[in-house]
Chains A and B, each alone.
Chain A
Amino acid sequence: MAEQPSRLLRTWLQRQLPETAFDWLAGQLEALQQDPSDRKLHIALGMIPRRLGKDDLALSEADLEAAEAARPGWDPRGWSVDEAARILALLAAAGANTGFAERFTALCGSAEVGEAIALYRGLPLYPDPAALEDQAAEGLRTNMRAVFEAVAHRNPFPRERFDENRWNQMVLKALFIGSSLHPIQGLDARANPALAAILIDYAHERWAAGRPVSPELWRCVGPFAVASLLPDLERALRGEDETERRAAALALAASPAAEARVLLAGAGALAAEIESGALTWERLEHDPVAQA
């Protein structure tokens, strides 16, 4: 499976990099295929940003479609040149190496921030994904938000691999650290009653402390918003923040409870917007990467 994504990465890098820089990279990849030793790989990973720079990877709509076709869920938006090249180097060295998971774990353990982000962003492309789960979860334990997001955002790995508890902890932590939920793949498909209950508790905690909650929270609550949870949604629906009111309306629309319809009908214009498709979770928040 990794063969086709690596060919795409290579094509994109060749298109964007100056010839000398790409030739250097091609030489490194070749050498890593011949001799995938730790020493060679460490040096290649260390040299990549020095030789190639850290520009954003320039990708067209067609490139994104090709990525999706090569590996469903693979979303390289927001990647940089050095990240793409580091992942490519890892894949090149993996070809002849069976202990990929051990190597991946060791690399993550001594990575600097940029390196860690690249390593985790590459998760959907590596061999033997089952063996990478623990290290992926380790990536979520970090306090470095960008590293957390490298696992959680625009990455099909969590939705495919994480069990319910791990998944729920990831979503909750995203809210805790002020990150956003909408770039998490499978957010609606993997919503579950346990997560809804955890998020409601979290909202109560925040309200007790006089702190606001992220409107995105309601997205994971809506489908499980039975009668006992409706007062919370009603509270959000009457909140001062416009985005919060819109989010509460969306959650009510997803609720299976009949009383939710009544509450939503009382929200007038918002109900109509949802009905017409003008208000959706996607439109609720701007996504800077998707907009770019």
Chain B
Amino acid sequence: MMFIDPHTHMISRTTDDYEAMAAAGVVAVIEPAFWIGQPRTNVGSYIDYLSHIVGFERFRAGQFGIRHYCTIGLNSKEANNEALAEEVMEILPRFALKEGVVAIGEIGYDEQSDLEDKYFRLQLELAKELDLPVMIHTPHRDKKRGTSRSMDVCEEHGLPPSKVVIDHNNEETVQETLERGFWAAFSIYPSTKMGNARMVEILRQYGAERIIVDSACDWGISEPLGVAKTAKLALERGIPEEQVRLACYQNALDAYGQSGQIKEDDWLNPPAIDQRTLYEGNSILRGGREPKIEEAKIKRSMDELIIE
């Protein structure tokens, strides 16, 4: 089975993670622009970061047979630094049309401050102008209210819910998100967001329509195999295969495919120029063998003593 992980901060991950993801069947990842742990103090480091995720990271992923896409935006935490935010807003249009940019994101609220609100709205307008989908990061604290408010603001700005992915949902927010017609994404992130056993129960209760599973793996304790492991667990626990395929592959493709920048052909039938430049092809797709999650992890064992 092929998987898409539509929320990964690969800039923080190692090549072992790429190998493990490719071996587990992940064919594409989406890297949302976000906070990198240490606050940026000037627009120059923002430019370099955005250049990195549209440039080198895309190339690095391709070496492991994974297609890399990204979203471009000013995150909510750094929106609170007004001087920085003003300058970042100036440069966003320069990056939003780069190849492989599938949305404006991840944007939204953190503390739900006035500045966060201001830049969230400005970026929704930018998404409308450039006809791009939006990826919304919902806040960790005061989540339920923050999630409702994010959707209110999207509606206020006239964005169709079909072009907006609300991420980091949980049992408390999913119903409203789905009822209002938005895509509901879930981050399988240990301890703080979702576990995959809980995710399986959500699939059982709500089905898979407009539901998207991601790992949100980053520099914290997180799981780059979150999507693949959730799919496996869901199948083991009796969720129909078609629903697993929707939640772990097709829905993300449909939602972000509205950008025109991500297509199944990118990994199944990549253009010759891509094969020569940034995509080495996926060994699973080449060889047709079944995904093996364990294989790529073996070399981290102390029993494998020889380094060549």
Interface residues of A, Cβ cutoff 8 Å to B:
39, 42-43, 46-47, 49-50, 54-56, 78, 80, 82-83, 109-117, 143-144, 146
Q: List 8 A-B contacts (CB under 8 A).
A: A110-B47, A110-B51, A112-B54, A112-B58, A113-B55, A113-B277, A113-B278, A144-B278
Contact status B272-A56, CB under 8 Å: yes
If over half of A's interface residues share one DSSP class (helix, strand or loop), that class is named, otherwise mixed; here it is: helix
> Is B260 close to A, CB under 8 A?
yes
Neighbouring A residues of B98 by C-beta, 8 Å:
46, 112, 115
- The residue in chain B whose Cβ has the minimal distance to the Cβ of A82 is B273
CB pair A46–B97 under 8 Å, yes or no, is yes
Given the known inter-chain contacts A110-B95, A114-B99, please indicate yes or no for A146 contacting B271, CB distance below 8 A: no
Identify the closest chain B residue to A83 (Cβ).
Answer: B273
Contact for A110 among B50, B260, B271, B277, CB less than 8 A: B50
Q: Which of A56, A78, A112 is B55 in contact with, Cβ under 8 Å?
A: A112
List of B residues within 8 angstroms of A56 by Cβ:
272-273
Of A42, A83, A112, A144, which contacts B99 at CB under 8 A?
A112
Which residues of chain B come closer than 8 Å to A46, judged between CB atoms? 97-98
Judge if B152 is at the interface, Cβ distance under 8 Å: no
Contact yes or no, A111 B276, CB < 8 A: no
Minimum CB–CB distance for B22 against chain A, Å: 19
1/0 per position for B272-302, CB-CB distance to A under 8 A? 1110111000000000000000000000000
| B97 and A115 within 8 A (CB) | no
**1/0 contact string of B82-120 vs chain A (CB within 8 Å):** 000000000001110111100000000000000000000
Q: How far is the CA of A49 from the CA of B278 in the complex (A)?
A: 15
- B96: nearest residue on chain A (CB-CB)? A46
Bound complex: CA A82 to CA B272 (Å)? 13
Name 8 extra pairs, CB < 8 A, besides A112-B98, A112-B99.
Answer: A42-B94, A55-B271, A110-B50, A110-B95, A111-B55, A112-B58, A113-B55, A113-B277
Nearest B residue to A107 via CB reads B94
Question: Given A110-B50, A112-B58, A144-B56: A54 and B97 within 8 A (CB)?
Answer: no
- Set of chain A residues within 8 Å of B50, measured between Cβ atoms: 110
Chain B hits for A117, CB < 8 A: 277
> Which partner residue on chain B sits nearest A79 by CB separation?
B273
In the complex, A15→B300 CA distance in Å? 54
B interface residues, Cβ below 8 angstroms from A:
47, 50-51, 54-56, 58-59, 93-95, 97-100, 260, 271-274, 276-278
Q: Roughly how many angstroms separate A43 CA and B129 CA in the complex, as a whole number?
A: 13
Q: In the complex, A82→B99 CA distance in Å?
A: 12
Residues of A contacting B47 in the complex (Cβ-Cβ under 8 angstroms)? 109-110
Query: Do residues A146 and B277 form an inter-chain contact, with CB atoms below 8 A?
Result: yes
A110–B272 Cα distance when bound, in Å, is 24
Question: What residues of chain B lie closer than 8 Å to A82, measured between beta carbons?
Answer: 273
Q: Determine the chain A residues whose CB is within 8 A of the CB of B260 once the complex forms.
A: 50
Interface centre among A50, A115, A144, by most chain B C-beta atoms within 10 angstroms, is A144
Contact flag A146-B276 (CB < 8 Å), given A110-B47, A112-B99? yes
Q: Which residue on chain B has the smallest CB distance to residue A49?
A: B99
Contact residues in A for B100 (Cβ distance below 8 Å):
112
Smallest CB gap from B278: residue in A: A113
Residue in chain B with minimal CB distance to A143: B56
Per a CB cutoff under 8 Å, which of B54, B94, B272, B278 touches A146? Answer: B278
How many Å from the CB of A152 to the closest CB on chain B?
Answer: 14
In the complex, the 3 A-B pairs of residues with the closest C-beta atoms, listed nearest first: A46-B97, A146-B277, A112-B54
The chain A residue sitting closest to B91, CB to CB, is A110
- Chain B hits for A83, CB < 8 A: 273
A110 to B260, CA, bound (A): 22
Docked complex Cα distance between A111 and B100 (Å) = 12
Query: CA of A46 to CA of B50 in the docked complex: distance in angstroms?
Result: 15
B99 touches A47 (CB 8 A): no
In the complex, which residue of chain B has the Cβ closest to the Cβ of A57? B273
- Tell me the complex Cα distance, A46–B132, Å: 14
Say which residue of B59, B93, B273 sits within 8 Å of A54 (CB atoms): B273
State the Cβ distance, B223 to closest chain A Cβ, in Å: 27
Q: Which interface residue of A46, A110, A112, A115 has the most chain B CB atoms within 10 A?
A: A112
Known interface pairs A50-B260, A110-B95; A116-B274 also in contact (CB < 8 Å): no
Report yes or no: A115 in contact with B276, Cβ–Cβ below 8 A. no
CB of A121, distance to nearest CB on chain B (Å): 11
Which A residues touch B94, using CB under 8 A?
42, 110
Known: A144-B56, A144-B59. A114 touches B277 (CB 8 A): yes
Residues of B with C-beta under 8 A to A109 = 47, 51
Known: A54-B271, A109-B51, A144-B59. A114 touches B276 (CB 8 A): no
Q: Which of A43, A78, A112, A116 contacts B276 (CB 8 A)?
A: A78
In the complex, A45→B234 CA distance in Å?
44
Minimal Cβ-Cβ distance residue in B for A117: B277
CB distance from A213 to the nearest CB of B (A): 17
In angstroms, Cα B55 to Cα A43, docked, is: 17
Give A109's nearest chain B residue, CB to CB.
B51
Closest to A43 in B: B97
B261: nearest chain-A partner, CB-CB: A50
Residues from chain A with Cβ under 8 Å of B58 in the complex: 112-113
Shortest beta-carbon distance from B266 to chain A in Å? 11
Cβ contacts under 8 Å, A42 to chain B? 93-94, 97
* List of B residues within 8 angstroms of A39 by Cβ: 93
